[in-house]
Amino acid sequence: MVETVPAETPTVLAPDSPNAIGRMLGLLGDEWNLLIVQQALLGASRYSQFMARLPISNSVLTNRLRTLVSDGLLTRRVHASTRARTEYLITGRGRSLWPALLSIWQWERNWVTGHRETLPAMRHAACGSHFTPLLRCNTCQGVVTGAEVALSLGPSGTWARSAPAATTRRRSESDTTERHAGLFPETMSILGNRWAAALLVAAFLGTTRFTDFQNQLGAPPSLLAERLQTFCHIGVFTTSPTERSGPERAAYLLTEKGLAFFPVLAAALQWAQWWFQAPEGPAVVMTHHDCGAGFTGELACDRCAERLSGGQVSTAAI
Ligand SMILES: [Zn+2]
Ligand SMILES: [Zn+2]
């Protein structure tokens, strides 16, 4: 299947190819892709600038730039001047990732304690304050957390289609040492792993039991047990044992930290479902309980209540 990607037009997905979740995980489940897009949003455009700003090797940078260009997040421009110069410019598709990046930043800053010193606060240029982004419902303007939005699977939302393409999986599995810059470690333990990401989506869909996770996702039990353990270890899930206890009987529930990941998931899904459209319908349908409308999120400043735009968020934090 050949796919052409005009940078500013949504990609129409072929039947049975990875859906929006799969495309999202293929791109955002790689920390280098996130960091390169972040630097492009901050103004980097030349190979040497990315090299100078990121602790990245030549081969990884070359590989990721190629991926980001072919998926339409960056566009490559060659200047035929005296000395040929190549620039990688952010496209609308790449630029519109800022709410997901901002939400990742916020979640890591708030919930991953090892970071507090290294991830600076964000400043809202419009009001001049250090702020926390709030996720609001676009329809009713109500502030939402993970518990107030219902998720269900849409027409293209089969688990088989929700995995990244095989080439992406091979790449991420073969270069695990290269793929972690360590800036967003816990985000990567969720988004950077196929089963982990699927588990989290399933948890937001309301799944709690080992056997239900297993039946829905078709995950190998040993891998599933390992991911559940990781999620409990980093505090995204907690277990609630029943009387006839055992790992299969325990309920795995999202913790406050797990629920707080919702803005990342919502922003990433919203981005992916806009830019990678399945003709038969979305992979995930989100509904806001309070107003009953289909949920689309927007980010607002907690200080001045203004809706945020990418260009107004300053300092090193995008
Ligand atoms: Zn609403
Ligand atoms: Zn503000």
Read off the pLDDT of residues 81-137 as tens digits, 9 standing for 90 and up. 756 689 999 999 999 999 999 999 899 988 987 664 566 778 899 999 999 999 999
Contact criterion met (CB below 8 Å) for 276 and 11: yes
Going from the Cα of 150 to the center of ligand 1, the distance in angstroms, rounded, reads 11
pLDDT digit string (tens) for 225-244?
999 999 999 999 999 876 55
Which ligand sits nearest to residue 286's alpha carbon?
1
In order, the DSSP letters of 223-272 are HHHHHHHHHHHTTSEEEE--SS-STTTPEEEE-HHHHTTHHHHHHHHHHH
Rounded to whole angstroms, how far apart are CA atoms 147 and 101?
21
**Closest listed residue to residue 217, CA positions, set 163, 261, 179, 137:** 163
94 Cα: distance to centroid of ligand 2 (angstroms): 24
User: pLDDT tens digits, residue range 12-66?
Assistant: 999 989 999 999 998 998 889 999 999 999 889 999 999 999 999 999 999 999 9
- Encoded tokens for 272: 């992916």
Which of the residue ranges 7-11, 36-40, 258-262 would you say has the lowest mean pLDDT? Answer: 7-11
Question: How far does the centroid of ligand 1 lie from the alpha carbon of residue 138, in Å?
Answer: 7
Exposed e or buried b for every residue in 65-87, given b needs 16+ CB within 10 A?
A: bebbbebbbbbeeeeeeeeeeee
Residue 127, both tokens: 């009001």
Instruction: Examine the pLDDT at 1 and tell me if it is beyond 70.
Output: no
pLDDT reported for residue 104: 92
Residue 160 three-state SS = helix
136 CA to centre of ligand 2 in angstroms? 14
Q: Cβ–Cβ contacts within 10 Å for residue 91, how many?
A: 21
What is the whole-number distance in angstroms between the Cα of residue 291 and the centre of ligand 1?
4
| Structural tokens at position 174 | 């073969």
Instruction: Tell me the pLDDT tens digit for each residue of 190-211.
Output: 888 878 888 999 999 999 999 9
Backbone angles phi, psi at 314, to 5 degrees: -115, -175
Count the neighbouring beta carbons within 10 Å of the beta carbon of residue 189.
18
Q: CA of 166: how far to CAs of 9, 18, 173, 310, in Å?
A: 24, 10, 10, 32
Do 109 and 24 touch, CB atoms closer than 8 A? Answer: no
Q: Which ligand is nearest to the CA of 127?
A: 2
Pick from 200, 193, 180: nearest CA to 31:
180
Contact 172, 30 (CB under 8 A): yes
Q: How far apart, in whole angstroms, are the C-alpha atoms of residue 96 and residue 179?
A: 23
Tell me how far the alpha carbon of residue 97 lies from the centroid of ligand 2, in angstroms. 20
**d(C-alpha 176, C-alpha 178), whole Å:** 5
**pLDDT recorded at residue 174:** 45
How many angstroms does the Cα of residue 75 sit away from the middle of ligand 1? 35
Residue closest to 29 by CA, chosen among 160, 179, 146, 167: 179
- Domain limits, the chain: 11-314
Q: What is the pLDDT at residue 316?
A: 47
Quick one: which ligand is closest to 136's CA? Answer: 1
Provide the percentage of residues in the chain whose pLDDT is more than 70: 86
Closest ligand, as measured to the CA of 139:
1
Distance 310 CA to ligand 2 centre (A): 13
Contact yes or no for 297/136 (Cβ under 8 A): yes
CA–centroid distance, residue 139 to ligand 1 (Å)? 5
For ligand 1, the distance from its centroid to the CA atom of residue 206, given in whole angstroms, is 20
- The alpha carbon of 287 and the centre of ligand 1 are apart by a number of angstroms equal to 8
Predicted pLDDT of residue 177? 45
Q: Is the pLDDT of residue 318 over 90?
A: no
Residue 49 is given by DSSP the state H
What pLDDT does 32 receive? 92
